[in-house]
């Protein structure tokens, strides 16, 4: 029987979607395995797809998270669930649209968010494209987020400690409305317990890396191998030279550790002039940000009458905010160490209103 066609402009209850076709991203890890299992349980016609993203270089550095191992684990999950499994090589696109972007942003003195850009530029569009070619209505992933309302809108997951709406907020909303997040109403503890009970994933399965193409999480090594040493100066807010460094790409605004120079009190990186290989340091007050200007704005829904909050880091707290159209978010409470290049997400309650990439910041006390 062909997959049932679903009206994606409204929320769809599980019983309405019984028989609908869905392509689920399978990494072989706990979260994607649980997402696939729940979809099978709810009566969807499920196909698993493993996207090959990381280059072989990363596989050689960390074989447990390498291409062959990822495919093996994902296929084992698909076999246990009795679903079809595809492997799609997306490494060239990933290298051009994510890895190159990551390096170029650091080279320019900005701090990129590769996971957010991968979701927006590679992962979701490719999954939707594959699903459409197979006449499947939906895609699904193991992210902790929800789609609520009508039309469906990106919303925080119930497990606030694991919520991933922030790294999804730059994805085109039309793609998200074709997406199911089966784990959105679950906690990580619940997912782990159920996966263990069902024996879906072997105990040795490796959790996702923070930056998948840098398995050892040493992004400075990754950048150093590409750019080599680029000596420059450390200066204070007056322009006085207070030290030297081996590459401005080793620093990010807000950084407090490993600066290489001491002060009367704690010092922070408060500015980067990459074109001059110059790193500016200052005290905590200099690192406090009161407003950000964003570009590449993705609008999810109009803001209502409720209070807004802004989240400017994937693991950072959201703070009360207001918009200053067309492209500025003003923070009601200063945040320390916010850097150009990072993702800014504006929420009303738990729903995403808009997202974008921080182009510039304004000091809180200026």
DSSP bridge pairs for 363: 289
Which residue in 53, 200, 212, 259 is the catalytic one? 212
d(C-alpha 165, C-alpha 304), whole Å? 19
CA distances from 314 to 89, 308, 345 (A): 28, 17, 10
Which residue in 118, 128, 308, 331 is the catalytic one? 118
d(C-alpha 328, C-alpha 343), whole Å? 13
Cβ–Cβ under 8 Å, residues 24 and 49: yes
Count CB atoms within 10 A of the CB of residue 32: 27
Helix axes 100-107, 219-227, angle to 10 degrees: 80
Structure tokens belonging to residue 77: 């999950």
Structure letter (DSSP) for residue 286: G
Beta strand 153-156 with 145-148 is: antiparallel
Cβ–Cβ under 8 Å, residues 302 and 308: no
Q: Is 115 a catalytic residue?
A: no
Q: Is 118 a catalytic residue?
A: yes
* CB under 8 A, 24+ apart: contacts of 98-106: 98/53, 98/122, 98/213, 99/55, 99/213, 102/211, 103/222, 103/223, 103/226, 103/227, 105/341, 106/219, 106/223, 106/249
Catalytic residues: 118, 212
């Amino acid at each position: 029987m062909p997959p049932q066609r679903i009206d994606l402009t409204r929320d769809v209850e599980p019983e309405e979607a019984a028989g609908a076709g869905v392509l689920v991203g399978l990494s072989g890890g706990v979260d994607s395995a649980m997402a696939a299992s729940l979809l099978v349980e709810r009566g969807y016609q499920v196909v698993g797809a493993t996207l090959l993203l990381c280059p072989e270089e990363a596989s050689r550095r960390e074989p447990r998270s390498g291409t062959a191992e990822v495919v093996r684990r994902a296929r084992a999950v698909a076999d246990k669930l009795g679903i079809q499994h595809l492997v799609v090589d997306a490494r060239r696109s990933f290298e051009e649209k994510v890895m190159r972007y990551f390096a170029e942003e650091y080279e320019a003195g900005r701090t990129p968010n590769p996971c957010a850009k991968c979701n927006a530029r590679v992962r979701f569009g490719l999954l939707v494209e594959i699903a459409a070619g197979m006449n499947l209505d939906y895609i699904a992933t193991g992210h902790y987020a929800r789609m609520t309302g009508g039309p469906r809108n990106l919303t925080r997951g119930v497990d606030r400690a694991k919520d991933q709406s922030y790294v999804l907020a730059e994805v085109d909303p039309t793609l998200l409305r074709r997406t199911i997040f089966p784990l959105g109403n679950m906690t990580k503890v619940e997912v782990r317990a159920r996966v263990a009970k069902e024996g879906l994933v072997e105990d040795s399965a490796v959790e996702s890396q923070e930056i998948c193409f840098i398995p050892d999480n040493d992004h400075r090594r990754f950048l150093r191998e590409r750019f080599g040493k680029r000596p420059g100066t450390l200066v204070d807010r007056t322009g006085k030279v207070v030290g030297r460094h081996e590459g401005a790409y080793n620093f990010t605004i807000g950084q407090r550790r490993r600066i290489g120079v001491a002060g009367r009190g704690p010092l922070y990186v408060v500015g980067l002039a990459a074109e001059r290989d110059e790193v500016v340091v200052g005290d905590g007050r200099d690192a406090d940000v009161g407003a950000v200007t964003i570009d590449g704005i993705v609008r999810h829904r109009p803001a209502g009458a409720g209070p807004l909050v802004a989240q400017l880091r994937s693991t950072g707290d959201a703070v009360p905010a207001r918009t200053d159209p067309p492209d500025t978010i003003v923070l009601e409470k200063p945040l320390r160490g916010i850097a150009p290049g990072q993702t800014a997400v504006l929420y009303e309650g738990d729903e995403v209103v808009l997202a974008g990439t921080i182009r510039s910041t304004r000091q809180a006390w200026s």
